[in-house]
Amino acid sequence: MRYLGIDYGTRRVGLAISDEGGKIAFPEQTLTNNKDLISKVASFCQKKDIKKVIIGESRDYSGQPNEIMKAAEEFSVALEKATGLEVIKEPEFLTSHQASKIQGGSNQIDASAASIILQSYLDKMKN
């Protein structure tokens, strides 16, 4: 089963994809967050035969949903409707910061953050 990981941001949205066995996450691409986002992600899901979507659940330092989470929730609902796929929230904390340490100044930070989110979910599924 192939999974899609998403790092949702107000300007950019990172995508990561798992191997067919659902064991390893790989950064895939970064999309601009605009009116075409849902259709682009839905098309990607169909093209790559995605079976489940994992999106980062963003919270502030006190554990409460942060400002981006409301928009991410609306995106999740719209994506479920567009694809018919289950969208699962995976807790994330400073994944973009972690990705920037790995990637340096790369333009793949958002996709790398998505792979961190997805790998976290996949690792939980193994256990």
Contact 56, 72 (CB under 8 A): yes
Range 2-126 classified under CATH 3.30.420.140: yes
Angle, CA 87 vertex, CA 72 and CA 93 arms, to 5°: 50
From residue 109, give the alpha-carbon distance in Å to each of 48, 67, 82, 86. 21, 20, 26, 25
Task: Give the separation between CA 26 and CA 127, rounded to whole angstroms.
Answer: 20
Task: Give the separation between CA 65 and CA 55, rounded to whole angstroms.
Answer: 14
Tell me the per-residue pLDDT of 29-80, one tens digit each, with 9 for 90 and over. 999 999 999 999 999 999 999 999 999 998 766 777 778 888 999 999 999 9
pLDDT of residue 96: 53
Q: For residues 108-121, give the mean pLDDT.
A: 89
Domain ranges of the chain: 2-126
Q: What is the CA radius of gyration of the chain?
A: 13
Task: Give the separation between CA 4 and CA 121, rounded to whole angstroms.
Answer: 11
Query: Among 118, 122, 119, 125, which Cα is nearest to 5's?
Result: 118
